[in-house]
């Protein structure tokens, strides 16, 4: 496999970085009145301004050459063509088929998956309409009022994020809850507020073996059966899974199971039946708009030339900073309270996909890979960690995300929010010089250095017309393809997650000790902690 860090494009970028690192964003803007026009792109109702980055036309040209060296276009064709690009699990990666709104077949092993995709969507739609319209009733004849999504990781973060993001489109007589953690407090605190007669559980697990989800689903079933009897399970539990046998063993009839396929990775599964809670919230039509938004981005990513390609541009800018500037973090800052869970969602999408240390063929990588991603909604983050972004010693490239209009225009709130969205990226880019500090106001000499902002801190601004289902679909797909393109350039498999396995194995080994079984021989730290836990649990 080609080592991307040994290619001429990489070597040229290393040299180019040495020249451009001395240039301030102030100078780049002063030197080119057309900078914003040159370094911004749009697709439908999504606009990307990447002018406040430490780059020029030559940087982009070299980065695009890197993408050619890595054959991002070829890898994209393989993904859309249903090839088993997840090579360590020998699976196709075809979440794009789940939102394929065209008539084009999508093939896995020579078979068109689209009829199956459409059949599950129709099944979901009929069920969602029945629950939302009140024809689906609980075992005692009551309407469903609360929906509890039980799942974890890819079976939780997507639906939880999207239901909150699209709350203005939500059916008002349904309330949504998300239980993921194996900590019993999560399910107990949720059930405490609920009435079994009006509660529907959606158990979401691709494998239907995940420890946390099975523990939570079992506790929920016991709670329901205690109140309404075992026959009630059929009216209060549905499952989303690829494992029909395990769903049946749990006691959920196959009519109440919504399937998907092994070519849908957990963190890319929101578009499948894993999105059932979202469809229950916003209805089949808006769910279709959500898929259509992602499809629009898919078609753009697949067909747009590199100079106009939004996901590829974001990917290349990210690589520029991780690999050539050595900046290991990336902040995602939505100026949209309803996107509060978006950074957590992206954390999984990005860090589980690209947090890899070996190449696709198992050799240690010779360069850095995925950054540490974090974020909080603005303006809250401004009053918390932005201090470090502005004046700290680490440089953290950031994505600012906002919508021009809000579904909830309340007094002056949205202009206030947008003013902050614009001000923060401006402050990061341009800073405040010593001269500006002194000229701005009388200031004690000792305080002057504290009031200087170095600036030259890069960011992207992603602007939506409004946060609706279509735009959310576009936004998520934008990041999915960014992550994909980066993984291709880094030569890693973005679609496996072996790194989460070891902890699961060790937890299985430790559990018997905690449940009173024989102590496992381990290291002195684990044994010591187990002893301490044992003493405290014996005398709570």
Residues that bind ligand G6Q (CB under 6 A): 152-155, 205-207, 210, 213, 265-267, 352, 497
> Whole-angstrom Cα distance, residue 308 to residue 279?
32
- 301's CB contacts (< 8 A; 6+ apart) are 76, 309, 310, 311, 312, 477, 481
The residue (of 233 and 264) whose beta carbon lies closer to ligand G6Q is 264
The residue (of 373 and 395) whose beta carbon lies closer to ligand G6Q is 373
Nearest residue to ligand G6Q, by Cβ distance, number only: 153
> Whole-angstrom Cα distance, residue 294 to residue 304?
15
Question: Least separation, in Å, of the C-beta of 431 and ligand G6Q?
Answer: 39
Question: Least separation, in Å, of the C-beta of 299 and ligand G6Q?
Answer: 24
Say if residue 238 is exposed, middle or buried (CB neighbours under 10 Å; 0-12, 13-18, 19+). Answer: buried
In the annotation, is 38 catalytic? no
Q: Which of 352, 414, 470, 481 is catalytic?
A: 352
In the annotation, is 504 catalytic? yes
The residue (of 286 and 369) whose beta carbon lies closer to ligand G6Q is 369
- 111's CB contacts (< 8 A; 6+ apart) are none
Question: Least separation, in Å, of the C-beta of 154 and ligand G6Q?
Answer: 3
- 436's CB contacts (< 8 A; 6+ apart) are none
Question: Least separation, in Å, of the C-beta of 248 and ligand G6Q?
Answer: 16
- 177's CB contacts (< 8 A; 6+ apart) are 146, 147, 148, 149, 190, 194
Phi-psi region of 126 (alpha: psi -120 to 50; beta: other; left: phi over 0): alpha
Question: Least separation, in Å, of the C-beta of 130 and ligand G6Q?
Answer: 25
The residue (of 347 and 420) whose beta carbon lies closer to ligand G6Q is 347
Question: Least separation, in Å, of the C-beta of 237 and ligand G6Q?
Answer: 16
In the annotation, is 414 catalytic? no
Q: Which of 193, 383, 413, 450 is catalytic?
A: 383
Residue 85: closest CA among 510, 529, 494, 460:
494
Whether residue 500 contacts residue 440, with contact meaning beta carbons closer than 8 Å, is answered with no
The residue (of 208 and 421) whose beta carbon lies closer to ligand G6Q is 208
**E-only strand ranges, 28-118:** 40-43, 46-49, 107-108, 111-112
The residue (of 59 and 210) whose beta carbon lies closer to ligand G6Q is 210
Residue 206: closest CA among 132, 133, 153:
153
Q: Which residues are catalytic?
A: 352, 383, 504
């Amino acid at each position: 496999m080609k080592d991307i860090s040994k290619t001429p494009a990489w070597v040229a970028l290393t040299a180019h970085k040495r020249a451009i690192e001395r240039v301030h964003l102030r100078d780049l803007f002063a030197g080119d009145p057309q900078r914003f026009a040159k370094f911004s792109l749009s697709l439908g109702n999504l606009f990307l301004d990447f002018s406040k980055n430490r780059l020029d036309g030559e940087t982009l040209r070299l980065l695009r050459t890197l993408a050619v060296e890595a054959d991002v276009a070829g890898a994209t064709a393989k993904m859309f063509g249903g090839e088993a690009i997840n090579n360590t699990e020998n699976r196709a990666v075809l979440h794009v088929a789940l939102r394929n709104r065209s008539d084009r077949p999508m093939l896995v092993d020579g078979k068109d998956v689209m009829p199956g995709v459409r059949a599950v969507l129709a099944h979901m739609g009929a069920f969602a309409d029945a629950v939302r319209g009140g024809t689906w009733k609980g075992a005692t004849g009551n309407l469903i009022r609360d929906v509890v999504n039980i799942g974890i990781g890819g079976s939780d973060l997507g639906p939880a994020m999207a239901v909150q993001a699209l709350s203005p489109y939500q059916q008002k007589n349904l309330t949504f809850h998300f239980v993921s953690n194996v900590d019993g407090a999560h399910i107990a605190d949720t059930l405490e507020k609920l009435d079994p007669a009006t509660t529907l559980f959606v158990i979401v697990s691709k494998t239907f073996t995940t420890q946390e989800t099975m523990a939570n689903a079992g506790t929920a079933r016991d709670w329901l059966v205690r109140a309404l009897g075992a026959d009630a399970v059929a009216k209060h539990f549905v499952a989303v899974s690829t494992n029909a046998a395990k769903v049946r063993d749990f006691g959920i009839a196959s009519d109440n199971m919504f399937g998907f396929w092994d070519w849908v990775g957990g963190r890319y599964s929101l578009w499948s039946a894993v999105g059932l809670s979202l469809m229950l919230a916003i209805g089949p039509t808006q769910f279709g708009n959500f898929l259509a938004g992602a499809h629009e981005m898919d078609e753009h990513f697949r067909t747009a030339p590199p100079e106009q390609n939004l996901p590829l541009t974001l990917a290349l800018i990210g690589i520029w900073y991780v690999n050539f500037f050595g900046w290991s973090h990336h902040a995602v800052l939505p100026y949209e309270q309803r996107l509060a869970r978006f950074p957590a969602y992206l954390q999984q999408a990005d860090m589980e996909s690209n947090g890899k240390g070996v190449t696709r063929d198992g050799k240690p990588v010779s360069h850095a890979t995925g950054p540490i991603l974090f974020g909080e909604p603005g303006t809250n983050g401004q009053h918390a960690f932005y201090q470090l972004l502005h004046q700290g010693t680490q440089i953290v490239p950031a994505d600012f995300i906002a919508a021009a209009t809000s579904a909830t225009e309340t007094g002056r709130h949205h202009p206030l929010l947008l003013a902050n969205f614009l001000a923060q990226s401006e402050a990061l880019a341009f800073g405040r010089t010593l001269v500006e500090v002194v000229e701005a106001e009388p200031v004690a000499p000792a305080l002057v250095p504290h009031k200087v902002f170095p600036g030259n801190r890069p960011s992207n601004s992603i602007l939506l017309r409004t946060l609706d289902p279509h735009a959310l679909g576009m936004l998520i797909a934008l990041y999915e393809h960014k992550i994909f393109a980066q993984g291709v350039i880094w030569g890693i498999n973005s679609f496996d997650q072996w790194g989460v396995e070891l902890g699961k194995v060790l937890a299985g080994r430790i559990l018997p000790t905690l449940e009173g079984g024989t102590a496992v021989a381990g290291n002195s730290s684990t044994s010591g902690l187990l002893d301490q836990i044992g003493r405290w649990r014996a005398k709570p």
